[in-house]
Structure 1
């Protein structure tokens, strides 16, 4: 009988409530998922995401930007914190800080982020608001590998969400979150079980 492959190691970075983190924690309770969350990092204390990790028995760490003399020092410290947990993938689940060159050198081909628009349209902090203002009929979410730009890395997957006539920013954002969370869990599972290649801007999962 063949031994099952060891579960891939996920380090998840959060800045807020951690709803995407919770979805990953829940998925990882099934051994067939192929991954487990081995640590949760944050850029601030007192957030629900850290509480979710503690409740699941997952180690946590905090790297606050204000605790370091420079952003470069913070980037080095964050890199070291994450590296301690030997991740196969690092996932930004609502992490509101842009990582720097040291982090990307260590994890750039393994660092994923999810964004609440269909990139390259509407990057930045206000994807749903900007989509509504533009009058698009379809919005959605994008999962991508992070590079040195803002929401510019190679795309893993996208999911569409229709824009309704009576949508406002809150209602559209909430519907996108549901689809975004489902996509995140599904695609992380695919990546860890099947592997991937990045060729230029093209991400291929066998």
Structure 2
């Protein structure tokens, strides 16, 4: 299925007009320059055809808005999948709600403690680095418990073993935290093979895709599907 991503990105960004010019421009720039969004809609095999998809740490709901718009334009297979998102920042959640209305359920909560609904797919884009090692493992274990057999987890994290590219990633994250006023933000990174090992211990089969094209960063996308043997 051919995806005109430029058209899709523009229509998605316009959903945020009610949230203000800055937010609309931020979403437009994010969609144009972050390769994960075009990849996920151009390779929709990970999407469930029924049931529900939950975006943990959804922020402004960019991915949910993108998928909703892509479905309207017949750019991804039509389905009855329900979309929902959870994010701790009230302002970002409010922007997501303005963009999505009743097309997705947005909840303000901390992913570390929020109740995870039973669902068929979970997305975690650039979230786990903000959690401690113990919190990362606890959240992934809870995710494995709520997903059904063949359920999918799509997550992106930096590869701490990528040398200079990882240093660029880490520096960019620190600068973004300072810009938000999060002066005490701490991070916990892992190497790609460490993430893979952790996911496999929880019963996932894992595929990885480099996700830094056009950027100086060291990001990796993990598409992890739960098998019929659960561990952890």
Report the TM-score range of the alignment, normalised by the length of the smaller protein. Answer: 0.3 to 0.5
Q: Which has the higher strand share?
A: 1
